[in-house]
């Protein structure tokens, strides 16, 4: 059979593609902008009509398509989310939970970099559903914006179902999927979910300026999500020969490529190419990714491997946290007694950047939360340790920065108290 014949033989409706789903099945879905809306809708409908129960749904970072289908409140119980990174969808579901009742979301602690191994060795996946870019004349799709764990899940699942969306960019790198690997195909044209940076506070602008001053020509960048990393990138447009090796590709990083600040010529690995594992942004950003040979998508176990990150020189990793204790340990995932997000790839890049020759790992936050009523610098963390104190390098708030490497616990406490809001400093000092 030709590639086109194979394609046509696998083409079907979304309902047909998810037929055979049984109670107790393990399903994984593509994350973020790779959520397949038609397939998720068909899964929700199938579970409802067939009275299927106890379907385990594995994923990182859900968005609206999942919230409107498989993560509807009235389906929880029949569909049991095995979520590895909470987003606004899960936080809303948990917020509506009745006191004393069992959580509708089962959070699975795992490093983002370890999620491919989870699907390859630990989770017996019955089905993987995801969005892909259209097939080329040689029979190849790409995973588009979401490589992450998708390459592992796609090849580990008993059944692979893809939703072909012409709006999904065709992305270069280790992102190829051949028609011979696919069991079922659904065609569905829908806009990709768009993410826009939130408004930035004056405190975040100050933090961004402090961080930007630490980034020199030829640095290799990893930036997280949100207003702060975008503000840092906006201040780097006069730099030369920057590189990108990042978990998340964003419009802010793309802007540095477009203005010429990023050339990737000083990198050791993937010289001349910007490396990432998943991408979120707006429509012009997705158009920029499409068919762009300067972009290199790779699985998260490669992109987030600290040993691989450290092969590049002058890696600068910028990540946010929710709390820092006076020893330097960071809680970046737990808030007000509940899981808020997940560990993601923070620790991977903290360790990779620190091990890089000339590298810097930067943990940033505003000094307060709750409209200034809560200090983010605390005597003891309220949640789990995302980045251990042994690994924390540079901490930045609107009151400056502190390099914790080589400092004793007393020296660390003194430095971090100096980064706290002045109205909390006496209480912090008295807690020692």
Question: Is the pLDDT assigned to residue 226 strictly greater than 90?
Answer: no
Location of each CATH 3.40.1080.20 domain in the chain: 202-430
In this prediction, residues 31-52 reach a mean pLDDT of 95
pLDDT in tens, 384-402: 999 999 999 999 999 999 9
Q: Could you tell me the pTM of the whole model? A: 0.95
pLDDT for 126: 97
Question: Which parts of 1-103 fold into alpha helices (H)?
Answer: 3-10, 14-17, 37-49, 64-67, 88-95
The CATH 3.40.1080.10 domain(s) of the chain lie at: 3-187
CATH class in words for 202-430: alpha beta
pLDDT in tens, 127-176: 999 999 999 999 999 999 999 999 999 999 999 999 999 999 999 999 99
Residue 99 has pLDDT above 80, yes or no: no
Burial of 216 (0-12, 13-18, 19+ CB in 10 A): middle
Residue 259 token pair = 């203005």
Beta-carbon neighbour count of residue 394 at 10 Å? 22
Across 4-10, average pLDDT? 97
Is 247 considered catalytic here?
yes
Encode 289-355 in three state secondary structure: HCCCCCEEECCHHHHCCHHHHCCCCCEEEEEECCEEECCCCEECCEECCEECCCCCCHHHHHHHHHH
Query: Average pLDDT, stretch 184-188?
Result: 98
The fraction of the chain above a pLDDT of 70, given in percent, is 100
The pLDDT assigned to 198 comes to 82
pLDDT band (50, 70, 90) for residue 200: confident
Q: Which of 35, 163, 204, 247 is catalytic?
A: 247
Please say if the pLDDT value at position 77 is more than 90: no
Please tell me the predicted confidence (pLDDT) of residue 227: 84
Query: How large is the average pLDDT for residues 421-431?
Result: 97
Average pLDDT over residues 196-220: 94
Nearest to 248 by CA among 304, 205, 310, 308: 304
Q: Rounded CA gap, 57 and 83, in Å?
A: 8
Q: Which CATH number fits domain 3-187: 3.20.20.70, 3.30.2270.10, 3.40.640.10, 3.40.1080.10?
A: 3.40.1080.10
Q: What is the pLDDT of residues 322-364, one digit of tens each?
A: 999 999 999 999 998 889 999 999 999 999 999 999 999 999 9
**Which pLDDT belongs to residue 279?**
97
Please report the pLDDT score of residue 181 as a whole number: 98
Q: What is the mean pLDDT of the chain?
A: 96
For residue 96, what pLDDT is reported?
81
């Amino acid at each position: 059979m030709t590639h086109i014949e194979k394609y046509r033989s696998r083409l079907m409706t979304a309902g047909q593609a998810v037929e055979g789903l049984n109670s107790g099945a393990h399903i994984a879905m593509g994350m973020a902008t790779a959520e397949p809306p038609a397939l998720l809708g068909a899964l929700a409908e199938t579970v409802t009509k067939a009275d299927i129960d106890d379907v385990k749904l594995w994923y990182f970072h859900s968005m609206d398509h999942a919230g409107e289908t498989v993560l509807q409140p009235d389906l929880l119980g029949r569909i049991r989310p095995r979520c590895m990174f909470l987003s606004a969808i899960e936080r809303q579901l948990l917020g509506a939970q009745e006191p004393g009742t069992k959580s509708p979301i089962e959070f699975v602690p795992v490093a983002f970099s370890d999620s491919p191994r989870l699907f390859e060795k630990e989770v017996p996946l019955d089905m993987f559903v995801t969005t892909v870019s259209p097939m080329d004349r040689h029979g190849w799709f790409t995973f588009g914006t979401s490589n992450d764990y998708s390459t592992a899940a796609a090849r580990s699942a008993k059944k692979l179902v893809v939703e072909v969306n012409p709006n999904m960019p065709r992305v270069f790198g280790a992102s190829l999927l051949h028609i011979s690997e696919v069991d079922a195909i659904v065609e569905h044209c829908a806009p990709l979910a768009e993410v826009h940076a939130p408004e930035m506070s004056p405190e975040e602008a100050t933090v961004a300026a402090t961080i930007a001053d630490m980034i020199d020509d030829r640095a290799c960048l990893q930036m997280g999500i949100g207003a702060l990393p975008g503000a840092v990138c906006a201040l780097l447009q006069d730099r030369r020969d920057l590189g990108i090796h990042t978990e998340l590709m964003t419009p802010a990083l793309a802007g540095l490529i477009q203005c010429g600040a990023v050339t990737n010529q000083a990198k050791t690995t993937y010289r001349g190419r910007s490396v990432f594992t998943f991408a979120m942004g707006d429509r012009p950003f997705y158009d920029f990714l499409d068919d762009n040979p300067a972009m290199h998508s790779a699985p998260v176990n490669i992109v987030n491997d600290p040993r691989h990150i450290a092969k590049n020189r002058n890696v600068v990793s910028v990540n946010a946290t929710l709390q820092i204790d006076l020893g330097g340990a960071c809680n970046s995932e737990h808030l007000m007694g509940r899981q808020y997000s997940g560990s993601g790839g923070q620790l991977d890049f903290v360790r990779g950047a620190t091990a890089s020759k000339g590298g810097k790992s930067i943990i940033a936050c505003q000094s307060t939360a709750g409209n200034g009523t809560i200090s983010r610098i605390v005597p003891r963390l309220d949640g789990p340790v995302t980045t251990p104190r042994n690994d924390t390098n540079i901490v930045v708030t609107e009151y400056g920065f502190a390099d914790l490497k080589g400092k004793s616990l007393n020296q660390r406490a003194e430095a971090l108290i100096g980064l706290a809001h002045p109205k909390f400093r006496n209480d912090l000092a008295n807690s020692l």
